Homo-oligomer: A and B are copies of this chain.
Amino acid sequence: MIRAAIAGGTGYTGGELFRILLGHPDVQIVAATTTSSDGVPVTSVHRDLVGETDLCFGTGLNNPDVIFLCLGHGISRQFIDTHDIGPDCMIIDLGNDFRLDGDHAGRHFVYGLCESARDEIVKAHDIANPGCFATAIQLALLPLASEGLILDEVHVSAITGSTGAGKKPGETTHFSYRDNNISIYKLFTHQHLGEIRKNIGAIAGKEPVVNFVPFRGDFTRGIFASVYTRADGRMTVADYRKLFEDYYAASPFVFHSDEGISLKEVVNTNKALLHLELHDGYVHISSIIDNLVKGAAGQAVQNMNLMFGLPETTGLRLKPSAF
């Protein structure tokens, strides 16, 4: 059994890690730290886990084999510096501290987008887990990047659920505001652009220009990304689809669908679905994930599986909610 600790387990991604790891056959959760809820049962914070666990939040790490950091962005460095994490203990950071610069405290954090760096992750000791938008958008671009087919600027519109905004209540997550509402935020400036440009650039040999319009959606879970760029005029839609199918042939969670897709087809799963069309000289890819699973906790566990030599899908065959 892998001894796993969760740091910062009271938030949405922390809760999602509990939900996934409690059903993982090879993992035992040995600790859950928090700054504010020492001694509180996990089920008091994550009420859907009533009957699933007796664990309480605490301050000790309890000698884990792996620790998941679900801290606010910018807090992971600080946590590592102030806690005595043994050198054998692997770290998977779900924040953005090590995505652009992976070196810290003698550790090297590999950018953990499994579908682009599986071989590297298998050998990694520490992981910078990708951002949710970054995951959805890159899954649409990876096959193109791998073949030098990002020929021009990339145009992205992507809509995220409210859980992407975290647990702290505020004006734009108030139900009275958000229900039946749509808005744009961080137009052309979203913080995930950096990791997208860097990682796709490394694969394509050149950093792409990505114009990104992020929308706040009036749903809780999931990201729907619309991605398009200039097509290679010599390729048919069948050529493009074959490229995508080949690229993801060994990836157990990513599928191209010849039919159009809708967000709830992946909600509450670790899957990504892609759908590709050609129009007016553009290749357009729709890409959908669950922001908390494939976009956060699920991908973190997928990384853990790879690092510990387990089948990539262990504990991640999750029942879709579908509705």
Shortest Cβ distance from A286 into B: residue: B184
Q: Which residues 208-241 in A have Cβ within 8 Å of B in the complex?
A: 209, 211, 213, 215, 217-222, 224, 226, 228
Answer yes or no: A117 CB below 8 A from chain B CBs: no
Do residues A181 and B321 form an inter-chain contact, with CB atoms below 8 A? no
Answer yes or no: A179 CB below 8 A from chain B CBs: yes
Answer yes or no: A188 CB below 8 A from chain B CBs: yes
Do residues B167 and A265 form an inter-chain contact, with CB atoms below 8 A? no
User: A173 to chain B: which residues have CB within 8 Å?
Assistant: 169, 174-176
Which residue from B50, B155, B222 sits with its C-beta under 8 Å from A257?
B50
User: A222 to chain B: which residues have CB within 8 Å?
Assistant: 180, 182
Complex CA–CA separation, A178 to B174 (angstroms): 9
Complex CA–CA separation, A281 to B32 (angstroms): 42
Distance of A253 from chain B, by nearest CB (Å): 8
Given known pairs A48-B269, A182-B159, A260-B183, the reply for A23 and B226 (CB within 8 Å) is no
Distance of A254 from chain B, by nearest CB (Å): 8
Which residue from B48, B271, B277, B323 sits with its C-beta under 8 Å from A163?
B323
Complex CA–CA separation, A226 to B318 (angstroms): 31
Number of residues in A with C-beta < 8 Å to the partner? 86
User: A286 to chain B: which residues have CB within 8 Å?
Assistant: 184
Say how many copies of this protein the assembly contains.
Answer: 4
Answer yes or no: A7 CB below 8 A from chain B CBs: no
Which residue from B171, B211, B221, B253 sits with its C-beta under 8 Å from A323?
B221
Answer yes or no: A47 CB below 8 A from chain B CBs: yes
Distance of A293 from chain B, by nearest CB (Å): 9
Answer yes or no: A49 CB below 8 A from chain B CBs: yes
Q: Which residues 49-80 in A have Cβ within 8 Å of B in the complex?
A: 49-52
Please report A residues at the B interface, Cβ cutoff 8 Å: 12, 15-16, 19-20, 22-23, 44, 46-52, 155, 157, 159, 161-163, 165, 167, 169-171, 173-185, 187-189, 209, 211, 213, 215, 217-222, 224, 226, 228, 252-253, 255, 257, 259-269, 271, 273, 277, 279-280, 282, 284, 286, 292, 317-323
